[in-house]
Amino acid sequence: MKRKFVCVSCPVGCELEVELDDQGTLTVTGNRCPRGEAYAWEEITEPKRVLPTSVKVVGGELPLASVRTDRPIPKGLIPQVMELIKKLSVPAPVEVGQVLLKDLLGTGANLVATRAVARRACAPHEAL
Ligand code: SF4
């Protein structure tokens, strides 16, 4: 199996050429450091991604807050994590960096807010 992809372990973004032979030996070229080989192995065996999305906010100036996982999670778990996130609604205010869900499905990754949402000011008729 041959694949090409970009190493995202640092901003250099080396273009990797990866070949996995029938004996399970991985050959990686194009990497400028050993982290590229480790990234290639992970990408072949258990690809992970940081998940950016949004959650509902109750009583906020905006109805949604943007969020992301604070570390990559296995791609295969993303549908299950999205189901959890769809059911979530958090009260305003929401601060940048606020942890909204901890240890998503045992991955060790937390869901954190990447955008602040202030509490909505009460309209005069709501203050009563
Ligand atoms: S192989 Fe090394 S230098 Fe290249 S993008 Fe990956 S971490 Fe950065």
Do residues 117 and 102 share a domain? yes
Do residues 117 and 71 share a domain? yes
Do residues 109 and 69 share a domain? yes
Task: Find the CATH number of the domain harbouring 86.
Answer: 3.10.530.10
Query: Ligand 1 mean position to 4 CA, how many Å?
Result: 14
Q: Sign of torsion, CA 26 18 45 31?
A: positive
**By alpha-carbon position, which residue is closest to atom 3 of ligand 1?**
32
Ligand 1 pocket, mutate which of 4, 7, 41 (most atoms under 8 A from CB)? 7
Do residues 118 and 69 share a domain? yes
Do residues 25 and 57 share a domain? no
User: Residue 38's domain spans which residues?
Assistant: 2-45
Instruction: Report d(CA 11, CA 62) in Å as an integer.
Output: 32
DSSP 45: H
pLDDT of residue 121: 87
| pLDDT value at 126 more than 80 | no
Strand partners, 58: 91
Structure confidence by residue, pLDDT tens digits, 52-99? 999 999 999 999 999 999 999 999 999 999 999 999 999 999 999 999
Please indicate, yes or no, whether the overall pTM of this predicted structure exceeds 0.95.
Answer: no
| pLDDT value at 127 more than 60 | no
Do residues 22 and 64 share a domain? no
Q: How many domains does the chain have?
A: 2
Structure tokens given for 36: 């590229």
Do residues 37 and 57 share a domain? no
Q: Identity (one letter) of the amino acid at 115?
A: R
